[in-house]
Structure 1
């Protein structure tokens, strides 16, 4: 179940909502079959269990009780906040168990649990958020690498203010009577980010000049809309030197002669790319035409499929 971008509920409805911290991590569904095993799957459906060996002990935490949980994988910074750049060093290692084990020592991951969809051979998705939350809290899942952070009911303004004051990504508002809707981006869950960010698909680039010769000077990005890739702008800032070099390698591998956007952008010297790379950008506002104002690159999102960037279109 996914959240819709939005704002705090009206003050008169505040008591009908619960508020949870929005984390900067990798979403995962956790399968505990009740035999001591554990399987983690990313939003793309990929099995990412082997990338996080520190979570193996969670497989036996409920004994022989089978469960399916919803959560987010984080790597925490020195202030205890999720840091996606640190997490990136842990992602993509499901096929490299030796490297995953080494990285688990250097940058241990933490699993935040916030929902339960299946428990004791019962499907809980038709239950209200309140009842599912109580079932989850009754499991008392807390360990060296996993936790069940509390949610508060009401006091949305104070909760959002606390996330801003503590440098957290934002807030997720969940309606108390909402059922769990697998695969649905629901208005019963509302996400509020403390910065304007957007997941975009890279469809091309413009070569850099001078010291950036041979590297992308800017990338051309878009979002899916009704099955088409809509151009939303050119992003030319926000990379480190190393990140720009990685992006250059990925773009060269994805180069194509065909423009992937539904309308060819009026960009001189553009090179086109197969639209399979997903990135996250920061921006101030949009133009009336839907283009991003003052966009800046934040990071690649290897945990997302290109279809996921269809969210948050105006």
Structure 2
């Protein structure tokens, strides 16, 4: 591919992000590259090369004012018209992305407040693709070539970087992600083009999840169902002082399981919460903490709640109904 040189400044096109499909790691994996899946929000960055940058969310909303610390990237891109794809994250002290920290930055539209937050909880842009450079669309260029072009830009700063990717060796990358407690892996076919706004099988995301046993302490009514049928259960984990509230779990339950739980809840009903800490859930019904369930979740939030919990099954071997 011919080298790309800086050209006349022009407005870069608006390009919607390409999306990955969920699935297992590809095997065999010789034709794939593997990247860390960062726990943040998607961000498309564009610049005419005049020293300013524009940030857009996955939905196309302008979020430039929300993250003023990324304006400094404009100096590094001066003279280069570009559209970059990446993930905005907030890093903890160990360098892991912490979605809870990033939430304090999201949705801020007041420039002065955004500036203060940028000092207290700076964002970092993990750049993993380039779709346009110096007047040329790169959508039809292969992933492998686009990564070479991105690497040649040499983008590295206090609030942005272009993390490396690995060709093949998907199982080794997965092991490293699990060991480091990261969110997951994104596999990308080396020959794949960039297809804007499309969820493509050329990109595959595999999330790391934790499986744990939780105690059911309450439930909420399923909307549109007969009285007493749960739509979600309120769960907790046992701590030093008793049962600590861990969140609401509704995703993953079948109608059969909901009916089975409804029969249990009728017997185990109580008038007060069994949780030691507040569980402020509208329309909550409380039960004796006898039922144990297995759930999966991506992580614990900073507030001690399960993030993205999914119901797996009731654990009759651990349930106490006596």
Task: Report 1:194-233 matches (<5 A).
Answer: 194-195=208-209, 218=220, 233=231
Matches within 5 A, 1:20-59: 20-59=35-74
**Offset of residue 196 of structure 1:** 7.1
Unaligned 5+ segments in structure 1 are 198-207, 210-216, 222-231, 248-262, 272-278, 288-292, 295-314
Return the offset for 1:237. Answer: 4.0
Q: What secondary structure, in the 3-state scheme, does the structure 1 residue paired with 2:29 have?
A: helix
- Tell me how far apart the structure 2 counterparts of residues 235 and 107 of structure 1 sit (CA, whole Å): 34
1:56-76 alpha-carbon deviations (Å, 9 max, x no partner): 011121221100000011100
Q: Rg: which structure is higher?
A: 2
The answer to whether structure 1 residue 81 and structure 2 residue 96 are counterparts is yes
Displacement after TM superposition at 1:234 (Å):
1.8
CA–CA separation in structure 1 for the residues paired with 2:86 and 2:182: 17
C-alpha displacement of 1:236? 2.8
Partner of 2:200: 186
Mark the CA change 1:121 to 1:78 in structure 2 (over 3 Å): closer, same or farther.
Answer: same
When the two structures are superposed, what TM-score results if normalisation uses the length of structure 2?
Answer: 0.65
Moved over 3 A (4+): 217-221, 265-268
Structure 2: runs of 5+ lacking an equivalent = 1-17, 212-216, 224-229, 237-243, 249-254, 267-281, 284-305, 316-322
Separation in 1 of the partners of 2:69 and 2:117? 10
Q: What are the superposed Cα offsets for residues 209-260 of structure 1, whole Å, 9 maximum, x if unpaired?
A: 9xxxxxxx64869xxxxxxxxxx9525347xx9x99xx9xxxxxxxxxxxxx
Give RMSD over aligned pairs: 3.2
Q: Which residue among 310, 314, 318 is the counterpart of 1:283?
A: 310
Q: Is residue 220–residue 231 contact of structure 2 (8 Å, CA) maintained in 1?
A: no
Pair 1:6–1:172, CA change in 2 (3 A): same
Aligned to 1:5: 22
1:126 equivalenced with 2:143 (yes/no)? no
Q: Name which of 211, 214, 234 aligns with 2:232.
A: 234
For these two proteins, the number of residue pairs brought into alignment is 231
Secondary structure of 1:54's partner?
Answer: helix
